[in-house]
Structures are given as C-alpha cells and as structure tokens.
Amino acid sequence: MAKLYFNFSAMNAGKSTLLLQASYNYQERGMQTLLFTAAIDDRTSVGEISSRIGLNAQAQIYDDNLDLFQTVQKQHKLEKLSAVFVDEAQFLSKQQVWQLARVADDLKIPVMCYGLRTDFQGKLFPGSEALLAIADILREVRTICWCGRKATMVARLDEQGKILEEGDQVVIGGEQTYISLCRSHWSKRQLSSQLGEEPPIQDLKCLPA
C-alpha cells in the first residue's frame, strides 16, 4: 500500500541529498519519479533541488495555488509514476498535504516529503504541522549540535552572527543564516562552547532517539 512519508530534521542534515539519492534509485531501475520544490526557494535557481555536496535535479515548482493531486494525476496518465518527492515540504499548505495524502490513497503512489519541522522560534511550519498529523511514516533525519548532541532546533542569525528572536517565519537565504542546535543550547541561545573547547563529535548512529 502506498504511503505518505515525512522526513524531517533541523537545517543542514542532508535532506535534499537523501531525496535526490532516493529518486535516483528509482530511476536507475527504470521507474519514473516526479519531483517538487517550493517556488519560494531560490537559493540556487527556481525549480532546482540542490544539495550541499553538489547533487542537483530539476523539479516542478509549487506555490499555494497549485493543486498537487491534479498535477500528479495528470502526469501519471502521461507516464506511470512510481514515486513522488517533495523538497522543502514545510512550505506546503495544509490543503496541499491532504492532496498528497490523496496521491498515496487514491493513485497508490508513495509520496516522500522532506522538510524542516520547526522555524527559528521553535514553532511548527504549517506544512510540517499537517504532515506530522497525517503522514503514515515519520522519519527523523539527524544532524548534530556543536556540542555533539542531536540537533532538533534551528536558530536564525543576523549579519553580526547573533541569534534573532523575532522576524518573519520564512526568510530564504544561505545556510550561513541558520544554525542547528540541540534543544538545550537553543534555549540558552548558546552558539558554541563558552570555554572555547572543541566538543567531541559523536557518531549519528549513537545519538539518542
């Protein structure tokens, strides 16, 4: 049975890399995939999913006005789709998340969404909130805080490298604008060791769930 997946994490965990790799695995076996990314994300070029390690692929763009179910259904009639991938899924609307659920339920096509769970204020994005509520499978893509613990929160920095407390939920910029922290250091607004020590880096496989 096809399912709706939500792969979530803090910044710089390699979500886009995993998406592109998974899509490539389908295509390598002769199966067709359909990729979506947010129109608002123009960090590289609009309509391109790009990872920090140099992988990239063209994708259809979505904004709040696009009906994702109808778009997938139309493409599925032209060529049989084996999977749908959505990058920057935090920017989906609640309605669009339900449209993707229909893709899995009615069209029997698995849908894999990748995105952030919370913003820099620790609040859920609308798309992430809906996905956490109705996705069949939730998977955490792990990355680490400077202290070596699992990072679950995102902080936004100003031009001087100080943590911002207020601002718009969505600001598109380079990865240097954001930093991933564990909950403890996010709460303390601590960006590095106050003693100037280099913390031990733990293997992600050993991080607590």
Active-site amino acid positions: 88
14: left (phi over 0), alpha (psi -120 to 50) or beta: left
What three-state secondary structure class fits 76?
helix
Query: What is the rounded CA–CA span in Å between residue 32 and residue 10?
Result: 29
Q: Indicate the Cα dihedral angle 53, 85, 96, 13, nearest 10°.
A: -30
Give the 3-state DSSP-derived string for 81-136, with helices as H, strands as E and coil as C: EEEEEECCHHHCCHHHHHHHHHHHHHCCCCEEEEEECECCCCCECHHHHHHHHHCC
70 is written with which tokens?
A: 């109808």
204: Cβ contacts below 8 Å, ≥ 6 apart: 142, 143, 144, 150
Residue 83's beta-bridge partner residues?
A: 33
CB count within 10 Å of CB 191 equals 17
